[in-house]
Amino acid sequence: MKKIKNKRKVVLITGTSSGIGRATASYLSERGFKVYGTVRDPKDSYNFGTIKMDVTDDISVKNGIKEIIDKEGRIDVLINNAGIGIAGAIEDTSIDEIHRQFDTNFFGLIRVCQNVLPIMREQGCGLIINIASMAGQIGLPYQGIYSASKFAIEGLSEALRLEVKQFGIDVVLIEPGDIATSFTKNRALIKRHKNKTSYSEGFAKTLEVIEKDESSGLPPEKIAKKIFKIITSRHRRFRYTPGALEQQIVFFLKKLLPYSVFSLILTSHYKIPTRKK
């Protein structure tokens, strides 16, 4: 491995074009970290280093990480943030759309981890922060495929943490609640939503609630500050759930209540149609 050129922590963050990724890259860079943020089309100006990378492409991931190692000789922190959202009824979602959702959110995370882990093992240290979601703890209506991709990150992170601890590598999971970012406007709707289906009415009502919740969510800078504290902390937890108080209560209620009762709360909040008698 190439000799270390500086003592500043080198941080790789995926998905830094906007939202949590961009806010975190900017925040860490301003505090002295050597930050490399991945973007698929590096046309904007940033106050941190950028690497052209598409997490759905094996060669792109390998080349992007090699570029960092050629410059810095190490990667101290990996923040897996890249992700997309696809919304629609599960029955109406095509297999191709499901593949697309998982290829970015789940397989993309694995591609990056598998390329960074050998570097961290050789260093004898490292920190991996995986950005999941409240949707990775609660199956959200009409975001079932998105939720599934985040649930998958939960299980993967739990197992990965156990496997890599022996090499001095730590794994942390962050499950943000609603965050006010461009994720809302960038969310893809399944192709079949343009045609009237049995779920169309319910989907429209629920999507309105989802978008309203997100628009009033925390600013992404709040998550950036939390990530800074995690990186600089000597004693880290495995799981963090930053979010508004009411969403913290939802996590608590899911653990406390029978699911039959908890599901009634979700049905009411998301205005899901109930069976007519």
What residues are labeled active site?
146
Place of tokens 């080349």: 63
What DSSP designation does 270 have? T
Dihedral sign from CA coordinates of 217, 220, 222, 228:
positive
Identify whether the C-beta of residue 190 lies closer than 8 Å to the C-beta of residue 92: yes
**Nearest by Cα to 75 from 167, 12, 7, 129:** 12
Query: Residue 179 in 3-state DSSP?
Result: strand
The answer to whether 222 and 153 are in contact (CB under 8 A) is no
By three-state DSSP, how is residue 58 classified? helix
Four-residue CA torsion sign, 133, 136, 140, 144: positive
Please list, in sequence order, all residues whose beta carbon lies within 8 angstroms of the beta carbon of residue 215, skipping any fewer than 6 positions away: 180, 184
What does 97-157 look like in DSSP terms, one character per residue? Answer: HHHHHHIIIIIHHHHHHHHHHHHHHHHT-EEEEEE--GGGTS--TT-HHHHHHHHHHHHHH
Cα(258)–Cα(272) distance, rounded to whole angstroms? 19
